[in-house]
Homo-oligomer: A and B are copies of this chain.
Amino acid sequence: MKTKGTGVTGHVTGTSISLIEKAMSPHDSGSSKPNPASPASAVEIGLTAAILAVRDSEPMVLVVRGAAALAHSDALPFGPFSPLNHRTLDIGLRAGVAAQTGLELGYVEQLYTFGDRGRHAQPGDTGPHVVSIGYLALRQCCEEPGERNQWRSWYDYFPWEDRRDGPAEVLDHDIIPRLNAWARAPVDPHGPIRPIGRAERVRMCFGTDGGDSPTGSTSGSTCGSTWDEEKVLERYELMYEAGLAAEAQRDGRLSLDAGRMPVGAAMQYDHRRILATAIGRIRGKIKYRPVIFELLPDEFTLYELQRTVEAILGPHLHKQNFRRLVESGGLVEPTGVVKAATGGRPAKMYRFRRDVLLERPSPGVRVKPGRS
């Protein structure tokens, strides 16, 4: 009744409150700590960074290639948080990434803290419970990282998110049918309460208008016009639940779809979930904060700016209107230089007006989807 369908957290009822109940009252003892004697048990905090960049209009993420015996999939740079060594989470993250990849991060933003039991697992896992804090980091260029690190396209991990040439084929041919089959399957009555039906969730996440469901009225079979490019995490979570993500099988989830091929490259731990969060976040944020310039070189043409935005958001933008918005928005200023060798008329170079960060609202690149 008070449940809300959107958002990451759902509505869960009936949690058993056990012996720790008393310990949870913070004022019981004279101690000023919330719970010195609590059974908080072994908790480890993992800091994980989704480091994003755009190279040649391709959105990239820095990954640590799977090397160990158990690790055939990639990971994001990460490390445990050690409060003895680092005063803040932010500092700990930067130090961990620097140690692991040699990169000094610039723009960093916390994304979300994941603590689900089982989602951080590896096969045969036992050990302390890991709560992982995901971060988004942006870089202007992708210099080659050393050793086991590598830049890979986002869309290797989320092929269904790539809509630069229209909806990805894998969506219609593979994902949507399998999700619809999952939505029609009987729900485990012992599972958590799902206030919103599976079919509804599929429709909301993927913009299908009923799909091949028998109750579908307008028999449009393919993805409609209601794809929300920011719902990256919601879509991934749905695929995880439905067993289309390899991580679901690794985590020991039974799935009706267990025998079929997973979609997209998997990652270790909960890193694909964190990457999905990062992509969703940046897709939303460039619309209202000027973060896109963290991904661009210091000087760029308006079309390069547009291409970068499109690499992140997906659909193509109306060129003339895009430059009108950007220029009138006061985010950029011409440098006076022109860049030849664009294949046509030379383009004026622009730079980001850093001082807009000191202005009040500090807007983003207002973008509206167009056609061309």
Q: Name A residues whose Cβ lies closer than 8 Å to a Cβ of B.
A: 1-13, 15-18, 20-27, 30, 32-36, 38-46, 64, 67-71, 75, 78-92, 94-96, 98-100, 104, 106-110, 112-118, 122-125, 127-131, 133, 139-140, 148, 196, 200, 203-204, 207, 226, 228, 269, 289, 291, 294, 357-358, 360-362
Contact = CB atoms under 8 A, between A and B. Distances in A.
Contact of A127 (B33, B92, B96, B98): B33
A358 B85 contact: no
A90 B7 CA distance: 12
Given A20-B82, A33-B122, 5 more contacts: A24-B100, A32-B125, A34-B79, A43-B44, A200-B358
A160 to B, nearest CB: 17
Contacts of A89: 113-116, 131
Nearest to A86: B15
Q: Interface residues of A: mostly helix, strand, loop or mixed?
A: loop
Given A4-B291, A44-B40, A20 B204 contact: no
B12 A90 contact: yes
Contact of A6 (B110, B226, B362): B362
A100 B44 contact: no
Given A27-B148, A45-B45, A123-B32, A6 B85 contact: no
Given A40-B45, A148-B27, A95 B131 contact: no
A269 B228 CA distance: 39
B127 A294 contact: no
A155 B106 CA distance: 35
B33 A64 contact: no
Given A17-B98, A34-B80, A228 B104 contact: no
A104 B30 contact: no
B110 A113 contact: yes
A206 B99 CA distance: 38
Contacts of A46: 34
A147 to B, nearest CB: 10
Contact of A357 (B6, B44, B115, B361): B6
A84 B46 CA distance: 18
Contact of A70 (B22, B30, B94, B95): B30
Contacts of A92: 115
B127 A30 contact: no
Contacts of A13: 104
A85 B20 contact: yes
Given A30-B70, A64-B27, A79 B35 contact: yes
B100 A25 contact: yes
Contacts of A3: 106-107
Given A109-B7, A226-B360, A40 B82 contact: yes
Contacts of A106: 1-4, 11
Contacts of A90: 9-10, 12
A26 B88 contact: no
A41 B84 contact: yes
Nearest to A113: B113
Contacts of A226: 360-361
10 contacts: A1-B106, A8-B109, A9-B109, A22-B99, A24-B100, A25-B100, A32-B124, A38-B80, A40-B45, A43-B44
Contacts of A99: 17, 20-22, 24-25
A207 B360 contact: yes
A122 B294 contact: no
B100 A117 contact: no
A237 to B, nearest CB: 13
